[in-house]
Amino acid sequence: MASHADEPNVDAIVETLVYLYTESRRLTKAKAREFGLTGPQLTVIKMLDQLGKLSLSSLSSRIQARNSTVTGIIDRMEREGWVQRERSTKDRRIVLIKLTDQGKKLAGEIEVEPMEIFRDGLASLPTDDLSELFRILGVLQAHVRKAVKDSPDV
């Protein structure tokens, strides 16, 4: 692994990313507890509220979790009456997950502070900076995905 001692900005950037991730998780867990949810359940509720119906595989990909993990989350949420499964009308093999009326009501009651804090911060950036940040994060994400995929420990 390359040394970054001569690149102080790399360490500062890594520290910033870790801080943003840690604070996001902390705030999400605290908000979820207020409503009797887990962090992943809160994420699913807000994602479905924003995007509508999603397939299990799409939901898994978006929250970066295995299908089996998301199936367990959805099973519990379905028992609570927050989500329901329905077959796609275009492809009967695909099961879509959507919020129930109860789930929509719950989603409307929850303000997800970390996402709003990030959105506000990002919205304050000049358009060119935002475009460049998006490009750079995409490159970083591709590098991390390759490293994770190539890792024998994963």
- Does 119 map to a domain? no
DSSP state letter for 94: P
Distance from C-alpha of 14 to C-alpha of 117, rounded to nearest angstrom: 20
Which phi and psi angles does 76 have, rounded to 5°? -65, -40
Mean pLDDT of all residues in 117-122: 87
Is 141 or 129 the better-scoring residue by pLDDT? Answer: 129
What would the two tokens of residue 74 be? 């959805």
pLDDT in tens, 23-39: 888 888 888 899 999 98
Count up the domains in the chain and report the number. 2
- Does 21 map to a domain? yes
Confirm whether pTM is higher than 0.75: no
Exposed / middle / buried, residue 9 (Cβ in 10 Å: 0-12, 13-18, 19+): exposed
Same domain, residue pair 128 and 80? no
Q: Which domain holds residue 131?
A: 124-154
Tell me, what CATH number does 85's domain have?
Answer: 1.10.10.10
Helix (H) or strand (E) holding 60: helix 56-62
- Does 79 map to a domain? yes
Same domain, residue pair 13 and 66? yes
- Does 89 map to a domain? yes
Same domain, residue pair 135 and 75? no
Nearest-5° Cα angle at 30, 98 to 24: 80
Same domain, residue pair 77 and 149? no
Contact of 83 with 44, CB cutoff 8 Å: yes
pLDDT in tens, 57-111: 899 988 888 888 999 999 999 999 999 999 888 888 888 999 999 999 999 998 8
Same domain, residue pair 47 and 93? yes
Mean pLDDT of all residues in 136-141: 92
Instruction: Give the pLDDT score at 5.
Output: 54
Residue with tokens 């367990």: 72
